[in-house]
Structure 1
Amino acid sequence: MTTSQFDRLAQVYEDSAAMPFRQGLEFPTVLHHLGDLADSAVLDFGCGSGVYSRLLARGGARRVVGYDVSEGMIEHARRREEADGLGVEYATGEFPKDLEGAFDLVLGVYVLPHATSYEGLVAMGRTMAAALRPGGRLLTLPIHPDVHPDPEYYAAYGFGLSVSERADTAPVDFGFSVGEQSARFTARYWTAATLDEALREAGFAAPEWRRHVVADTAEPGPTDGFWAPYLDRPHAAILEARKV
């Protein structure tokens, strides 16, 4: 991941947390699969502006560390921590050696799509594995291998993405708008077989695929047809894997 794509986007990422899609589906899905965080040390790998780091801290995690290569994102996250006082730690630059083996759980939301080569994908996985204690758990959200090809398919949920081809490292053009602000960046597509192979090579057992969850409080409601197209063809996969 290059810092140039993200250093200036912290506020729009922060504001995106209020999107109905994130509030009604994405956040509930991630928190559901994380489960009880009590007494857990959690690394938010690729934490961006710290949205998930703060959710983890408020969810009862014993220790939360947010890590991101974007100095601009980390600066924003640290300013929020000064205001919120949740006890979240933040780090940037080369992954700190003193964080290796320190965590029960690593959360990596939309980070694997920023690896631009197979070697980079494995290296990212190895860094996350190194952060975990033996048997520790990874929950990560890459681009779903079966993502819908129509760039407008996800427009109702506040974002659009275009995949040039269904091949490893194929560029994925992703954009979203929040009010009058917008963000656009390039990610990478990975097949299911390659994601499986890379995580195994990085030091994890075979990943298990999890389902999406719509919150009971979502607007529109969880039984409304609004969510059906997304649940049928989600743009993000949810993979859970244990360090071996």
Structure 2
Amino acid sequence: MASRFDALGDMYEEMFRLPWRAHLESFSVLRALGALEGEQIYDIGCGTGLYSRVMKRRGAARVVGYDISEGMIAVARRREADRPLGIEYTTTASDAEAGAFGRALGVYILPYAEDYTTLVEMCSIAARALRPGGLFVTLPVNPDYHGGRAYYERYGLRLFDAEPRADASRVTLELCFGRYAEQITARYWTRGTLERALRESGFEAIDWPAFRVSEEGIARYGEEFWHPYLDCPHASMITCAKV
């Protein structure tokens, strides 16, 4: 899977500026993470470092970005070299700093677990990094996402079943905005299985907070623009705490 993303760094950078990511997703994720001043944060599946940079600018004392894609990390390191923030980037998940972090973020990492064992392993990366009581925020595919091929098009994406929905079944994500038309295969997981994997990995207090839109997003695009996504988002947000 890493090689599939090595060449997509520029697209992911531009996608972060789309309205739904700028005014809904990132707004909601940062609300869920809470105050970041002085925190140590582990950004799992950091890609080109988009969230890593935002969190560091919001006062995090330390941010470590981890991704298995050499291409994504190369872009992240170039951004760090151009405008140094003191972010560390790595392609290796090490246990050397187990329990060192107060927050862990995993945006769209769980949809790439192809089986339950891998799903638990991904959750466990976050659990090992966190100290007891540490917060993990992650975004899987919404177990109840809308199956209509065109439902999310106004936001620059399409998401639809590639096979009947069941744990680990394939879903097709099409990123369709600007000059881009990329198709990615992700995996669907039921709500119960996601919660079971998190508990098995050492998490408790599992919650599914709703997405919210920033005041700027409403002012710029109007409330009607956001209704389809808020009614049935393509992703869910999960928060949980390390036991």
TM class by smaller structure:
over 0.9
Q: Output one character per residue of 1:125-153: Cα deviation in whole Å (capped at 9) or x when no partner.
A: 11110010111110000001010011211
TM-score (norm 2): 0.96
| Contact 1:74/1:90 (8 A) holds in 2 | yes
Q: Say if 1:106 and 1:232 are closer, same or farther in 2 by CA, change over 3 A.
A: same
Give the gaps of 5 or more residues in structure 1.
none
Out of 101, 112, 115, the residue aligned to residue 113 of structure 2 is: 115
* Distance in 2 separating the partners of 1:174 and 1:49: 19
Structure 2 residues not aligned, in runs of 5+: none
User: 1:41 aligns to what?
Assistant: 40
Cα deviation for residue 165 of structure 1 reads: 2.3
Residue in 2 aligned with 1:189?
188
Question: What residue identity is the alignment partner of 1:141?
Answer: L
Question: What residue in structure 2 maps to residue 86 of structure 1?
Answer: 85
Alignment root-mean-square deviation, CA? 1.3
**CA contact 1:216–1:222 (8 Å) conserved in 2:** no
The letter of the residue matching 1:10 is G
Render the CA deviation track for 1:189-242: whole Å, top value 9, x for unaligned.
000000010100011114111011101001664752111111110111110010
What SS class does the counterpart of residue 89 from structure 2 fall into?
strand
- Which residue of structure 1 lines up, in the alignment, with residue 151 of structure 2? 153
Q: Encode CA deviations 1:79-134: one digit per residue, 9 max, x unaligned.
A: 000011111110103x1222321100000000000000001000111111001011
Structure 2 CA distance, aligned partners of 1:3 and 1:170?
A: 20
Amino acid of the structure 1 residue aligned with 2:126: M
Q: Provide the residue aligned with 1:106 in structure 2.
A: 104
User: Once the two structures are aligned, what percentage of the paired residues are identical?
Assistant: 46
- Counterpart CA distance in 2 for 1:28 and 1:5 is 28
Q: Distance in 2 between matches of 1:53 and 1:151?
A: 32
